[in-house]
Structure 1
Amino acid sequence: MMLSPTALIAARDREAAKPGRVKKSGRGSGATPKVKSAIELLVFGELEPRDRLRQAAEGAGLSVRALRAAMLKPAVDAYYKQQLSNYRNGLKASALNTVENIMTDPQLMNTAAGAKVRLDAAKTALSDDAATGISVHVNTQVNVTPGYVIDLTDHGPSPEIITVENT
């Protein structure tokens, strides 16, 4: 029994449309070596900010249209996000070096503002989590509208009432 090519393509499309059939790698995933190379150029390459996608596509030997189409696929999007995470982690070392330079700058030791900057740099260097730099302020002021206030709170036993009768 021979199936026609159109029947095979239709069967493949039906299988691909089923839930959970997203290919993470391999043929049909979109994560080809050229696409991966284009994404690495996009993330790590020194490209002009205005035309980054076009330059990355041409640098990897792809058309812009093909790279855009590939970036819509889940496997390619996951690879792109992974490379962005790697780039971000690489920048942390550079940021820590900047903090160290500010913290040990001898010119900042002479003024109070410089001391404050050095103290903030030291706090940043000592913090283990990025979320420690986030602070939340809660408004504890109570807004009061002008007018009469009736106090209905119970302050203890009520005073005894003494009645005196005249005879």
Structure 2
Amino acid sequence: MAFPSKQTTQSVAHRAQTAAALLKKEKKEPSLSPLAKAAVELMVFEGRRRADAAEAVGMKDDSLRKALTKPDVLAFMNECMEVLRTSGRPRALRKMIELVDDAKTERIQFEAAKYLDGMDRPSHAVGATVNVQVNNTVNVTPGYVLDLRPDEAVKSAPQIEHLGTDDVIGLDELTDVPEEE
């Protein structure tokens, strides 16, 4: 059995989130066929494979595969997965509490306590998460700019309006600057 590549899996997940966000922004409900809706619900809530879910609702596997590439179907699947994830959180929390109390090893008790304390969940952190990305495509060199062109080239070159050529300090004027030791 061939498994999809990680890149394919991640791109589908990203497209599902993007599709869900667009529909939510436009305040629209996902529009999909009743068969596709039933198949997605079987896949998400009952854990059926795509081929089995398609057969159970009377679709061909290829038709369901193609439907799963459409934004509305992806958005609906994303909503279903979020419902499943949310409904599983109380059970997961209860299991962690049971592990703190009843685990056979102290290591498992410690890991469960660490999870409940929030120290082990950077991706589930409470509060706002801020991501910043800076794309700097402009080459900027800090410091002073020394113009070593002859005076004729400086005067004929375009100047920034508030700077005149009279403000340029020549190298011969810098001769009395003390040397650093």
Q: Normalising by structure 1, what TM-score? A: 0.49
Q: Normalising by structure 2, what TM-score? A: 0.46
Larger radius of gyration: 1
